[in-house]
């Protein structure tokens, strides 16, 4: 039998600050005429695994981008300035896919 109980939680900067500090949004660029538009495509988290540093994201997010594409990276409001927008050429990165503990680098 599932019993629902009420839970009270206070979400403030002590909770959201660290989440924002380690999170990043991915943007995919396209043009509408002469205007460049950036569409949100997912999020990631800054991680370290052994000597490997990077951004952990889901496979469906990575599938949105070619290996040579320039993507937008957006940091969230716990940093100054409030939103940080950077571009990253994925040709300067390596994709590491880990499935059930088996790593494959591309």
- In this predicted structure, the answer to whether residue 65 has a pLDDT above a threshold of 70 is yes
- Mean pLDDT rounded to a whole number for the chain: 83
**H or E segment to which residue 101 belongs:** none
**H or E segment to which residue 15 belongs:** helix 13-21
Give me Rg for the CA atoms of the chain.
17
Closest CA to 76 of 21, 28, 27: 21
Going by pLDDT thresholds of 50, 70 and 90, the confidence category of residue 103 is: low
**The pLDDT value given to residue 72:** 93
> What share of the chain in percent tops pLDDT 70?
86
Rounded Cα gap, residues 97 and 5, in angstroms: 39
**The pLDDT value given to residue 82:** 62
């Amino acid at each position: 039998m599932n019993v629902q109980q009420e839970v009270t939680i206070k979400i403030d900067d002590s909770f959201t600050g660290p989440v924002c500090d380690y999170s990043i949004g991915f943007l995919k660029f396209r043009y509408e005429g002469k205007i460049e538009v950036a569409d949100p495509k997912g999020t990631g988290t800054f991680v370290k695994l052994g000597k490997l540093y990077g951004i952990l994201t889901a496979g469906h997010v990575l599938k949105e981008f070619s290996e040579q594409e320039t993507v937008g990276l957006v940091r969230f409001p716990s940093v100054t300035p409030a939103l940080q927008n950077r571009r990253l050429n994925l040709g300067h990165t390596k994709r590491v896919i880990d499935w059930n503990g088996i790593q494959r680098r591309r």
